[in-house]
Amino acid sequence: MALPFAIKGDHLLRELVPYVVATPANLPLLDLSPFGLHTPAENILDPLRLQSATFLDLLHKLDGLTFGPEGMPMPKWVFYDCSELPGAIYGLARPAATVWPKVRELFQIPDDYQGLVPVSMYVAIPMPQPGVWFGHNLSSLAPVFRRLELVPDLDLAGLGSLTKGLALKCFRVQQFWGATQWLSKALYIHAKFGPLALQTAYTPAHSEHETLTYGFRCTDEALRASMGDPEIELVRPAVQEWIDGRDVARLKALQVSIEAGDSWCIPASPRPVGDAMLVPVSRL
């Protein structure tokens, strides 16, 4: 499988296959061939059916492997109530027969299971306005392998960006909203879609107060840029300040500015500094 334009993770599409999880009511609203990448019928899973149970268990384990170390794994009921039922899940997978032995151990895959094993997933939930979606979860084995110092036979670089870009096209998203933490390395991926308009910088409504809420217009150019298409160059404002996500006082001050009506964005990718990172912001 291949896309009609160049991407950095094209090697992944030679080794992995796309899948979709959606209810029969939501499925007709999706584009099952995002950018021409067809999702086979046998890779479309209905969360309302018993036969999907093992694969959905594996998805839940992927979430736990990704977010467990951060203290934010989803309870299984949240995964169903807030992901599988109202929204949709798109990702890339590998047949169980070809999955890495360490992954079989991590996922505790049943010996007789012959289906797909998810390597990545992106979950989004539709909001009341048509075409507006909220990004709920981006999971990938790439950071899991890095954390556990495992070296698979497949280079997983670019897996997260590729999965999110294809997912947003599959979901037909026009305006995207998301929430993440200032210290989350996922910001490296989110910033690839272009400048991120900030709606919150300090969010007590979230269990992690140092959470930012952001949005962007979901155009084909933004999606292609996120996947590394070298022919797409997005316009980005100049960086005015670099923020340390551990500086709670600065986050609160930025939140006060936003609530006063000022417009701020994250114009580009964070900058690593030792074990931490600095996030760029610009006032528009």
Residues facing residue 213 across a β-bridge: 179, 200
Nearest to 109 by CA among 90, 91, 122, 94: 94
Q: Which residues contact 183 (CB under 8 A, 6 or more apart)?
A: 210, 245, 246, 276, 277
Q: Are 3 and 92 contained in the same domain?
A: yes
**10-residue mean pLDDT series, the chain (284 residues):** 87 95 98 98 98 96 78 81 96 94 90 94 96 94 84 87 97 98 93 98 96 98 96 96 96 98 98 91 96
pLDDT in tens, 89-125: 999 999 999 998 888 998 999 989 999 999 999 999 9
CA separation for the pair 210, 204 (Å, rounded): 8
Considering its fold, how many domains does the chain have in total? 2
25 and 150 inside one domain = yes
Domain containing 70: what range?
1-173
- Which pair of tokens denotes residue 157? 């670089």
Q: What is the model's pLDDT at position 130?
A: 95
- Which residue among 144, 173, 202 closes a domain? 173
Q: Tell me, yes or no, whether 190 and 271 share the same domain.
A: yes
Q: Report pTM.
A: 0.94
Q: What span, in angstroms and rounded, lies between the C-alpha atoms of 30 and 140?
A: 22
Beta strand pairing status for 44-45 and 17-21?
A: parallel
Whether residue 260 is found in the same domain as residue 210: yes
